[in-house]
């Protein structure tokens, strides 16, 4: 984790947020049908959970790091008007896009503290549990919880985080409270009714900032290991997953380009197959704090890094305030069912949505929907994100900027 600028407590002043254009087919969180299955064996049929003749296309959306620095926590306190913490207003600019997807995945980088605090930012984070309520109100269905900050408060931090996500109705992948929980894949339903697709969400991190795993709990956090990732993906497929999405906390901080480890592991993971079918259908990258490219590798989409969806103003390794730390993209992929059962679900439409977290207002801004052509700064940020996202030729594979 990098340095950040400590902002003074934000005054409780109302901030007007530009209205974002809603996506077609927007749903409220209460009507969505994503649910974690209680056991790996309760999926939908080994080679693929939904019969190809009855399955329906669905959209999967993913967003970057949720990283509540002290200034972000202060903003949530101000938005709550002295009654705890409210993270809904700062995420409201993303809600139309997030809730408009059939399945939405976030990355919860930090762990939660005890109810009532104390809460801390960098370097050892303990965030208010109310973050989970804000994420759910925005429309997220599942969060990856494997990061270099997962052990900032030991096993207790993991337990509190997963308990709060459970209470908010958000599934999670990447950390666990028990060996049994760690052993079963997170299976989600994309869409509604008996024909909903089953999506496995798996998550892993490169490390934990040298914090050791809790004694007797080697399963507490998933660490990146190629063989384990492939084995877990295959187990998820056997448990009934139609689509396997893997969240990876990886890469080099403050580097726009994916590093060699990302490129090599991405090639290897997307090349893994069983019975002629890829084991992994989508890779979702976090950690670098800046947007990175999208790329189709071995027929599978990889987002090397989405950047920070929420974070305080940050200082890079050169000691300078770096606005890239508040720029990100959300990836949205429309999966359509195969012609025959057991074959691969394919991405028929791939999109990215550029975002900016306004650290002064404390608000997420959808740059694809809310940019006024007279707003030079927002337009420049949007165009920079687009250039980075398309930097490895994704436009040639029909990646589009969505709203």
6, 71 contact by CB (below 8 A): yes
What is the spatial distance between Cα 262 and Cα 269, in angstroms, rounded to a whole number? 10
Terminal alpha carbon distance of the chain: 30
Is the pLDDT at 250 greater than 90, yes or no? yes
Is the pLDDT at 151 greater than 60, yes or no? yes
> Whole domain around residue 155: which residue ranges?
39-401
Is the pLDDT at 278 greater than 80, yes or no? yes
pLDDT of residue 53: 66
Q: Is residue 28 part of a domain?
A: no
More confident residue, 7 or 179: 179
Is the pLDDT at 325 greater than 60, yes or no? yes
Q: Are strands 300-303 and 282-286 parallel, antiparallel or unpaired?
A: parallel
Mean pLDDT of 113-123: 96
Is the pLDDT at 46 greater than 70, yes or no? no
Percent of the chain with pLDDT over 70: 86
Q: Is residue 25 part of a domain?
A: no
Q: Is residue 299 part of a domain?
A: yes
Of 98, 348, 335, 31, which is closest to residue 198 (Cα–Cα)? 335
Q: Hunting for tokens 């030991």 — which residue is that? A: 154
Residue-wise pLDDT for 66-101, tens only, equals 999 999 999 999 999 989 999 999 999 999 999 999
Mean pLDDT of 319-340: 96
Residue-wise pLDDT for 126-150, tens only, equals 999 999 999 999 999 999 999 999 9
pLDDT band at 372 (very low <50, low <70, confident <90, very high): low
More confident residue, 392 or 342: 392
CA–CA distance from 34 to each of 28, 95, 193, 208 (Å)? 12, 17, 11, 29
pLDDT band at 374 (very low <50, low <70, confident <90, very high): low
pLDDT of residue 195: 84
> Where are any strands of DSSP class E within 240-324?
243-249, 273-274, 277-278, 282-286, 294-297, 300-303, 308-310, 314-315
pLDDT of residue 9: 30
Rounded CA Rg of the chain: 19
Q: Is residue 286 part of a domain?
A: yes
Q: Is residue 26 part of a domain?
A: no
Please state, rounded to an integer, the average pLDDT across all residues of the chain: 88
For residue 386, count other CB atoms closer than 10 A to its CB: 18
pLDDT of residue 155: 98
Is the pLDDT at 34 greater than 70, yes or no? no
Output the domain CATH number for residue 57.
3.60.21.10
Is the pLDDT at 1 greater than 60, yes or no? no
Mean pLDDT of 15-44: 32
Is the pLDDT at 13 greater than 80, yes or no? no
Query: In a 3-state reduction of DSSP, which class is residue 66?
Result: strand
Q: Is residue 303 part of a domain?
A: yes
pLDDT of residue 27: 34
Mean pLDDT of 266-273: 98
Q: What is the pTM of this model?
A: 0.89
Q: Hunting for tokens 């660490």 — which residue is that? A: 223
Q: Is residue 61 part of a domain?
A: yes
Residue-wise pLDDT for 207-242, tens only, equals 999 999 999 999 999 999 999 999 999 999 999 999
Q: Is residue 342 part of a domain?
A: yes
Split into its structural domains, the chain has a count of 1
């Amino acid at each position: 984790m990098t340095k950040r600028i400590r902002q003074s407590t934000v005054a409780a002043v109302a901030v007007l947020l530009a209205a974002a254009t809603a996506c077609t087919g927007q749903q409220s969180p209460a009507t969505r049908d994503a649910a974690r299955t209680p056991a790996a064996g309760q999926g939908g049929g080994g080679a693929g959970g939904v019969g190809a003749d009855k399955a329906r296309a669905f959209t999967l959306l993913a967003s970057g790091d949720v990283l509540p620095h002290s200034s972000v926590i202060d903003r949530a306190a101000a938005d709550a008007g002295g009654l705890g913490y409210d993270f809904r207003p700062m995420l409201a600019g993303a809600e139309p896009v997030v809730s408009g997807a059939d399945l939405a995945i976030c990355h919860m980088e930090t762990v939660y503290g005890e109810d009532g605090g104390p809460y801390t930012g960098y370097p050892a984070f303990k965030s208010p549990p109310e973050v989970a309520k804000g994420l759910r109100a925005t429309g997220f269905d599942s969060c990856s919880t494997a990061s270099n900050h997962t052990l900032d408060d030991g096993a207790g931090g993991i337990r509190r985080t997963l308990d709060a996500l459970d209470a908010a109705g958000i599934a999670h992948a990447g950390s666990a409270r028990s060996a049994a929980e760690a052993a079963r894949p997170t299976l989600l339903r994309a869409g509604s009714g008996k024909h909903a697709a089953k999506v496995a969400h798996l998550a892993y991190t490169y490390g934990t900032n040298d914090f050791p795993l809790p004694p007797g709990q080697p399963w507490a956090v998933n660490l990146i290991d190629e063989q384990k990732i492939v084995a877990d993906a295959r187990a998820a497929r056997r448990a009934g997953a139609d689509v396997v999405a893997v969240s990876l906390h990886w890469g080099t901080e403050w580097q726009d380009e994916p590093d060699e480890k990302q490129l090599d592991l991405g090639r290897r993971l997307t090349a893994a197959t069983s019975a002629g079918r890829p084991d992994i259908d989508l890779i979702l990258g976090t950690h670098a704090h800046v947007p990175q490219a999208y790329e189709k590798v071995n027929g599978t989409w990889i987002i090397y890094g989405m950047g920070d969806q929420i974070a305080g103003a940050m200082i890079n390794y050169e000691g300078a305030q770096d606005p890239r730390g508040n720029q990100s993209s959300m990836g949205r992929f429309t999966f359509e069912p195969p012609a025959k059962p057991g074959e691969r679900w394919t991405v028929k439409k791939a999109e990215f949505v550029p975002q900016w977290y306004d650290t002064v207002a404390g608000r997420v801004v959808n740059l694809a929907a809310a940019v006024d052509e007279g707003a030079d700064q927002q337009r420049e940020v949007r165009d920079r994100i687009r250039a980075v996202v398309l930097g490895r030729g994704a436009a040639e594979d029909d990646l589009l900027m969505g709203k």
